[in-house]
Amino acid sequence: MRPNGKRVLYLSYNETKHGSFDEAVQISKQSCLWWIDKSRRRPEQLGCPTDIYVRLTGQERYFRGTLDSVKSARDLDPDFVVQAHDHWPSVWQEQAKKTQLRPMKDFKTVFFIRSLREEIQPPDEVKSRRPPQGPVYVDLGGKAKAFA
């Protein structure tokens, strides 16, 4: 928690580039969705568990879930990519096969997300912002801050 409220993570998802988000939502409800990100993050700057908001690019649709943890790719098990297949939608799995993902080269951070569901009325601090180009912190009751 921040002095002014709770710090959450805000992301956008492009269904045109990465496939339907529905399968990701289902995985997050059955087990845990492992979302990889290309830029370096500092997990210690976000207290987990916390909320995560995902906006579908080009739409006014939002999803809210629980961000259980954030890990640097350098702290992952060597067989992470093999294990991840059970935690990725089929389109993500196909993309991973084509690129042969390598931690620290192709991605730097992993977000572990559970229980995504559509959020009809996200907080004003989230809804008033454009879809972010990359993950951003949003302090509810405060200002957004991009990951450093």
Residues 73, 77, 78, 84, CA torsion sign: negative
pLDDT of 145: 56
Choice among 18-22, 44-48, 131-135 with the minimum mean pLDDT: 44-48
- pTM of the entire predicted model: 0.87
Residue 51 φ/ψ, nearest 5 degrees: -85, 150
**Percent with pLDDT over 70 in the chain:** 89
Task: Kindly report, residue by residue over 12-31, the tens digit of the pLDDT.
Answer: 999 998 889 999 999 999 99
pLDDT of 142: 53
**Percent with pLDDT over 90 in the chain:** 44
